[in-house]
A and B are shown apart, each in its own frame.
Chain A
Amino acid sequence: MHEWALAESVIKAAAEHAAEQKMKRVSEVAVVFGELQAIDKEIFPFAMKELAKKHPLMSAAKFRIIDEPAAFRCRACSEEFDLKRFRKESDEAEFIHFVPEMAHSFIKCPSCKSPDFEITAGRGVYIKHIKGSK
């Protein structure tokens, strides 16, 4: 499952951030899942917990998952749109899952059909905050 590779990056980045902030123990990591990438919500948290066990700083961390809906703004005509009206074929959804930028190959602005849109929210995985004690 390719989620493991991203989960590993969350653990590593959080541990590095905590070390920079001279935290002794990380208590919470808030991870945002962008709707577009459709991350597996069982595998990813499981992978984070497993991988965190190997990091002394991270082993007691709780992971808070925050879902972020996808939002787009067309650069050609300024139309704002979301994912609801797109019924992607399953292979396209899988390709966007691997590389969210593939949305530019498969999704068009509903108003002017341009592929030149901005993903304003809900692209993929990022860390919103890291809490811990010093």
Chain B
Amino acid sequence: MTRLDPRPSVIADRLKKVKKITAVTGWKGGIGKSVTASALALLLNEKGHKTGLLDLDLTGASCHFILGSGKAFPREDMGLIPPFVHGVKFMSISFFSKGQGVPLRGANVTDAIIEMLAVTLWGELDHLVIDMPPGIGDAALDALKFFPKARILAVTTPSPVARDVLRRSLAVYKAMKVPVAGLVENMGPKGVAYDPRLDAALGDPEKLLKTAFARRLEKVTRKFIGG
């Protein structure tokens, strides 16, 4: 036999007690996916849902900065148990990178994702929110493969360029039969407005939850957050 990678065999088991998985995507860079994913996880937790947040943007991890996860670190017990950051179980490559860059090619990204998914013990969760990297490269395709239950929360902006990319992304999700649960138009009149106070709240979950950004995001996503 050729070499056998044992790790994928346990990934589905690791997610067995996770009820809903939401992948926050958007194929353009810098449009607010990470602030949306982080704030959404905090909002879900605020409503009393058991919530996890997985930062899957290995080369551009951001959620640890947005949440201010500080010295939090996974606990080792038959695997890695994600620490609670402001009530949210949080997993990110940032725990292991010492604040340094993570220069990875696609195949390495996949390998690192498989490793993290195989050893992370999420336990029981009502919601797992995934912060996706921009685009539909290795990490995003891996996520859709390893999280077959995932639904998409698509982030876009009013920019015509972003809309054009969004249109193509929705067509691909449709073809892949990945359900799109919702759409957030960030920094636009109909969606979540530009919030000049948001940057000052980064790193402080209490403050972040009080921003106009988070409160508006709550309204926009209410239907699908529930309660």
Chain A residues packing against B (C-beta within 8 Å): 1-2, 4-6, 8-10, 12-14, 16-17, 32, 91-92, 95, 98-102, 104-106, 115-116, 123-130
Residue numbers in B under 8 Å from A12 (CB-CB) = 6, 9-10, 13
Q: Are B104 and A9 in contact (CB under 8 A)?
A: no
Q: Are A10 and B6 in contact (CB under 8 A)?
A: yes
Residue numbers in B under 8 Å from A32 (CB-CB) = 3
Interface size of B in residues (CB-CB distance below 8 Å) = 37
Give the A-B contact count at a CB cut-off of 8 A. Answer: 110
Q: Is B101 on the interface with A (CB-CB < 8 A)?
A: yes
Residue numbers in A under 8 Å from B13 (CB-CB) = 12
In B91-123, which residues have CB < 8 Å from any A CB? 93, 95-98, 100-105, 108-109, 111-112, 115-116, 118-119, 121
Known: A5-B80, A116-B105. A13 touches B115 (CB 8 A): no
Q: Are A105 and B111 in contact (CB under 8 A)?
A: no
Q: Are A127 and B111 in contact (CB under 8 A)?
A: no
Per a CB cutoff under 8 Å, which of B6, B79, B96 touches A14?
Answer: B6
Q: Are A2 and B7 in contact (CB under 8 A)?
A: no
Known: A99-B116, A104-B103, A128-B3. A13 touches B121 (CB 8 A): no
Q: Are A5 and B10 in contact (CB under 8 A)?
A: yes
